[in-house]
Structures are given as structure tokens and as C-alpha cells.
Amino acid sequence: MALTTTPEQCDKRGQDLLLYYNVGTLGSPIWVEHLGIVGDLTLNEAEELNTRSVRSTTREVNEYTEGEIELSIGGTQITDTNYEGYAVFQRRRRGGDPVDIMVLTGSIDTVGSQGWRGKMRNSDRGISGPESGAMTTNFNLQPAACTDTPVGPVQINVAGTVSDFDPASYTAVST
């Protein structure tokens, strides 16, 4: 998808941020959209910066080098113990295996959608039982260590196909 000099997706809705889990294999993924999410879905991405420690009488400001990216996906899902999506997230706890997760800024069938993919663990399974309304369960997905699918950025270049993506590289539209 080519870049433009003016915004063309300024009317994207928050509900376009979608979460998928893989029920296939690493080599032949079968992506399933998590349909039990209610309320907000949040992709937190913050880059850590390291202070450059240099002795210099001419330096007046701190300088920083790149650090690692702190990444998490948080939200709330319907507490339905018979729903596969609920079970997938509940089993990503201590003693369970991490799951291959993907979050995208649009559908997997929408060329140009971007996001993150890789094996993650769920560190929040708190349940809310309101006086009225449906019971819900929180989730907070974070990258898992020592897996065959490290978390990395992805993009949809062909509908239905996930490709690795380098968000730091682009070609300017106008110079």
C-alpha cells in the first residue's frame, strides 16, 4: 500500500483494531478472530530510551540511544468458559504454553493493516461480576521469552497473508 501526503484513514473506528489467535502451526497458521472482546482493546507500545553517558564539557543536554520496546495488548472479554477464545487466553498462564497472537489495525483481509504477531502470555485474568450485565474477564498479553515465534511487527500486503514488516523504513512520498 503506497503512502499518501494526506490522511485517508482518518475515520477508522476503534473497533477496527482486531485480535487474532492461531489454531494452526507456525508454518501454516490458521488465524481466528477473537469474537468475545467487549469494550476497549488497547495496544501499548512504548520504546525505552537509554541515557548516553559521556563526559563532555560541551554537551548541554542528555542524549539517548535506542532501547527495547515494551509491548502489551490489554482488554476485556466475555466470561464464557465454553468459548474457544476465552479458553485460549485463560490457558496462557503460569505453567501453560504461550500462544501465537496477532493484533492488527484492521481485518486480516484489509491490505495495509499493520500490527504485531508472536507468542504471548496472559498476565491478567481478573473477573468482574457486575450487579447487572454480563460477567467479563480482563486480559493482558505480553511477549513470551524463549519461543519459536518471537513477537515482531507485521503488515498485510496481500489480503489474508501476514508478512513481516519494518516500520522504521519507508520511502518519503514527496521530497
| Predicted pLDDT at 155 | 93
pLDDT at site 54: 74
Range of lowest pLDDT (77-86, 90-99, 132-141): 90-99
Per-residue pLDDT, averaged over 144-163, amounts to: 91
- Res 129: pLDDT: 83
Confidence of residue 174 (pLDDT cuts 50, 70, 90): low
Over residues 50-83, the pLDDT tens digits come to 887 777 778 778 788 888 899 999 999 999 989 9
Write down the pLDDT at residue 6: 55
Can you give the pLDDT at residue 140?
A: 94
Q: E strands of the chain, at which residues?
A: 18-22, 31-33, 37-52, 63-78, 99-104, 114-122, 127-128, 136-143, 152-158, 161-164
What pLDDT band is residue 138 in, cutting at 50, 70 and 90? very high
Give the pLDDT band of residue 127 (cuts 50, 70, 90). Answer: confident
Query: Among residues of the chain, what percentage have pLDDT more than 90?
Result: 46
Residue 155 CB coordination number (10 Å):
19
Q: Rounded to whole angstroms, what are the CA distances from 36 to 20, 42, 104?
A: 11, 15, 16
Asked whether residue 171 carries a pLDDT value surpassing 70, the answer given is: no
pLDDT at 118: 95
* Res. 105: pLDDT tops 70: yes
Structure confidence at residue 143 (pLDDT): 95
